[in-house]
């Protein structure tokens, strides 16, 4: 088992190598308010940010508040978000989340993890996305890319996203939590892909235990 010190050193080298390469935008999702970002993040599950932005361009003109999502017929909302995939579950999540916002927080998106995860359809990943981009609150976002790269890079031995989040928090300074997540996401999309990681063109391959597998 590698020591925490060694793991911190490797995480730091990975961060410093990737940081100059990828955009510093906190999200590729298009939004104007924390609520719009929350909606977009829910829709982004198993869907590209580009596709979500295409859908929300019209969606945000039609649905302006949590009350609009609550009052919309479920079939109509499903049709409006259908191109994002898994539209039935996402429509339920949007309705549940919107109702929760109205019931618990007066329709406003709260700026804390504890409050956000009380909303139906909102887990820690979604909450961290919203907190980091909308409120500048540090957090580790564990999506499929972050999970895959964290395991490949030997930064965790866990498969559970919540445990991966905790593992990364332990080896990174708090101010780097969100940026490190973004870097792994961008690098996962561009180079370290699920089926064929491109070790030959990977700038962090020297720090990757899986390169010899």
Out of 80, 90, 143, 167, pick the active-site residue: 143
CA distances from 166 to 38, 67, 135, 141 (A): 23, 35, 21, 11
CB environment 94-115: b (16+ within 10 A), e (fewer): bbbbbbbbbeeeeeebbeebee
Out of 125, 147, 167, 182, pick the active-site residue: 125
- Examine the residue annotation and report whether 174 is marked as an active-site residue of this protein: no
DSSP, res 192: B
Sort 41 into a burial class: Cβ within 10 Å, 0-12 / 13-18 / 19+.
buried
Q: Give, for 120, the enclosing helix (H) or strand (E).
A: none
- Examine the residue annotation and report whether 118 is marked as an active-site residue of this protein: no
Give the catalytic positions in this structure. Answer: 125, 143
């Amino acid at each position: 088992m590698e020591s925490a010190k060694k793991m911190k050193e490797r995480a730091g080298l990975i961060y410093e190598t990737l940081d100059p390469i990828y955009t510093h935008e906190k999200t590729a999702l298009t939004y104007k308010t924390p609520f719009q970002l929350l909606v977009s993040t829910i829709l982004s599950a198993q869907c590209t940010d580009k596709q979500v932005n295409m859908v929300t361009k019209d969606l945000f003109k039609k649905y302006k508040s949590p009350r609009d999502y609550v009052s919309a017929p479920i079939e109509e909302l499903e049709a409006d978000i259908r191109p994002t995939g898994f539209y039935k579950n996402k429509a339920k999540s949007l309705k549940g989340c919107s109702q929760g916002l109205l019931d618990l927080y007066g329709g406003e998106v709260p700026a804390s993890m504890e409050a956000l995860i009380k909303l139906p359809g909102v887990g820690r990943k979604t909450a961290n996305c919203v907190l980091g981009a909308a409120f500048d609150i540090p957090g580790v976002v564990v999506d499929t890319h972050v999970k895959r790269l964290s395991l490949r890079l030997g930064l965790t031995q866990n498969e559970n996203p919540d445990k991966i989040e905790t593992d990364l928090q332990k080896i990174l300074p708090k101010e780097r939590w969100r940026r490190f997540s973004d870097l792994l996401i961008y690098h996962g999309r561009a180079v370290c892909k699920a089926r064929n990681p491109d070790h030959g063109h990977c700038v962090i391959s020297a720090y990757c235990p899986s390169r010899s597998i």
